[in-house]
Each structure stands twice: as structure tokens, then as C-alpha cells.
Amino acid sequence: MSDLNRREFMKTSSRVTAAAALGISALGARRVLGANERIRVAVAGVRGRGGSHISEVGQLPDCEVVAICDPDEAEIAKRVENFKGAGRTDVSTYVDVREALEDKNIDVLTIATPNHWHSLMGIWACQAGKDVYVEKPCSHNIFEGRKLVEAARKYGRIVQQGTQARSAPAMREAIGQLREGIIGEVYMARGLCYKWRATIGRTLEEAPPKGVNYDLWLGPAPKRPYSRNRFHYNWHWHWDYGNGDIGNQGVHQMDIARWALGVGLPTRAQSMGGHFLFDDDQETPNTQVSTFQYPEEKKMIVFEVRHWMTNDEAGYKVGVTIYGSDGYMVIPSYGEYRTYLGRNGEPGPTGNVRKPLAHFANFFEAVRKRDRGILAAEIEEGHRSSALCHLANMSYRLGRTVDFDPKTETCNGDKEANRLLAREYRAPYTMPQGV
């Protein structure tokens, strides 16, 4: 097991202490990059989307993955074999991300873990002097998303959320058309997430698989027995770890909707729905309709999640329609937009720019230039789009409308709603109040 660095794996259980969790800010300064020096990357969470991180970083000039981190030993082993196949035997492996963050030669941490780890891991990375690329949603709740923004500012870190549409040429062209008034005064966006999601069934509670550091996988989440339906991928449908499909696929379309309208956080959010058709372990809704109001801007967002047999709308099942005084714009993918003008919906300007997404390239350019201003999805924008998904879920769980103050990011005099802005963090994986 030399390739899996057994020493690091065995050390984890003895190092999970409050001091380790909170002392990461004292790890020292980030190394200074030369103009042509390679940016050294560690990838946390290597199953699924983490594999894409490894691939995409590997295709960029002057960037290389030098470390991988995952609490599942089997997933590390698969990636080690992939690296060997590519002639790489020099990639370090870690089970505990804190040990990776102690390496001063690592410049960047990319995060593709379950949602409940995103913000905490990102904050630790900022404190350790690393720049961060974090998958969407950047947070599991609104409180910790704001803390990640604060950490990025305090430590001068470059932090990007993985809402890749922000770097798509067609999307940037579409937003430019909206700003120029192609459909007149925009007032509403409607996002759809009609993903085919079959039942996850039911699984028994059992011992974790051999080689899984389950305590570390749980991290800040409550201690619960292991179940396959709360582990790989299906964690999305449990409140302790995921945010349902509105915070999984839907956050991409929510981000486009908010970007198109040019709005931040709303003053009211309302969401209704349920977990329909299936009797299984899923906790989050699979059918959900949410609305977000912006009274001062005289705008609103409507967002709908469906999970099973359905019609498409305007030719798409996952996408966004923007409505204006002179027409509407349909965005069925990151590489295409269409406009329809006037009362008769006459076809207007369209765009079809199917170039490879440049989100990682955009991030690493900002890292090298030390300029967060050129980021396509800088963490403040990522936090706001993620927060809309969280507000929808808060309203759904409460069964009523949530009144929200965008300035304080709290719910006006609503103790019950304010409790859902954050979570109880399991020691020692606690969220620092002062990052």
C-alpha cells in the first residue's frame, strides 16, 4: 500500500483534534510564483467531478496536479493507477486534507467533495495560504458561504466557484445582448431543472467499507451510521450533506438567471413541493417550485425542479428563459441562446458558440496575476447564487415564505428561519466565527 501513503492514513485518527482543525492558519505563507513557474495543485475529493479536475488541470500549460486527497482509500487507488498509466509516480496522496494543506509547495486546492465540506475546506485552504477552486454550491448553508468570502478577503486568496457557465463564450455574449437591451427591460427569469432521477431505494445501515475513513468523510455533519444511500453521490439527497437538485444541478441555472437579471440576494423567498412518487431514503424534494422577489429592482426569479416524466419547455429541460418588455431569451445550454421579439415572438439574434469551457483557465490566470477581478465566478458571486438555493430549501423546510435582509444576510426577526442559516458543526470540524 505504499502508493496510498499508509502513514498519512493511519495518522488521521490521532490527529483529528480541535487544535489541528483550528490551527491551520499558522501554517505559513504561500510560496511566490515566478512568471513561468508551474502552479502546483492538490485535488480534494477525487471521485466523479474530482476526476474532471485532475484531467482539466492536467491539460493547462504550467499547471500540474501534485497531490490528491480523499477519505476513501479505494478512490485514491484508482487515481494512482491513472497517474501511473500517464507516467506519473510523483503524485502525493492524502486522506486528511489538513495534511495536504501543510505542504508549502502546494499553491492551489481544488475541492470536489460533498457539499457539506466545501466552505470549511475552502476556509482552511485560505488560512493555509492556498488559492481555491470550489465546486458548486460553494456552501452547504448561507452562513458558511459568507465566511468563505470573508476568508478569501482576509487572506488575499483567489477563490472561484465551479459555475462554469460564467466562462462560456455564448453565455457572456448572451449577457452582453441583454445589457444592450435586445429584449428591452428584463423583469423575470425562469430556471428549469428537469433531471431524470429514479428512486434511490432503501439501504441498510452497516459498517463502512474497508479503507473508508468515515469520520473524516462526515466531517462537520452529525454522526450517523454509515449507509450506502448516504455515501457516494446519493448524499445529494440528504440534508446533512447535500442541498437537493436545486443545489446540485439547479445552482448552475440559478446562477445564469441571477446574472441575466443583474441582481444579488432577494428580500423574499418562497418554495413549495415534496418528495413525490417514490418511497425511499431521499429527504430532499424531487419536485419543487421556488420564487424570489426583488421589489426594489422590480424583478423576480422563478425556479422549478422536476424529477421524472415531463415535457420540455422552449425546447429544453435544463435551462433558463429571460423575459423582457420587448421579447424573451432562451438559454438551453452553456453554448447557445435564442431570442424571440415582439408580440408575435419573431426570431431575433441567436448565438451558438460551442467552444470548450475555460473556467479553470480563467481561474489559473487570476492565480498567476493575483487579480480576483478577472475571475468569471469570483466567490462573492458564487456565494450569492448558492444562497438563493439555500433560501429556497429553507422556505420549503419551514413550509412558508422567508423574509430576508440582503445586507445582513439574516431573516428579519424570524428565529426559526435564522436557525436554518447555519448548522451545528461537529467538533473538531467546526466553522470559525472569525476566519
Mean pLDDT over the full length of the chain: 92
pLDDT digits (tens, 9 = 90+) for 112-157: 999 999 999 999 999 999 999 999 999 999 999 999 999 999 999 9
Flag whether the pTM goes above 0.85: yes
193 Cβ contact partners less than 8 Å away, ≥ 6 residues apart: 245, 246, 249, 250, 253, 303, 304, 305, 306, 318
pLDDT digits (tens, 9 = 90+) for 27-50: 444 566 655 689 999 999 999 999
Which domains does the chain possess? 2-165+360-377 (3.40.50.720), 166-201+227-355+387-419 (3.30.360.10)
Q: What is the mean pLDDT of residues 86-102?
A: 96
Does the structure show a pLDDT above 60 at 244? yes
pLDDT digits (tens, 9 = 90+) for 316-341: 999 999 999 999 999 999 999 999 99
pLDDT digits (tens, 9 = 90+) for 351-377: 998 887 799 999 999 999 999 999 999
Q: What is the mean pLDDT of residues 237-244?
A: 98
Q: What is the mean pLDDT of residues 258-267?
A: 98
Q: What is the mean pLDDT of residues 90-94?
A: 96
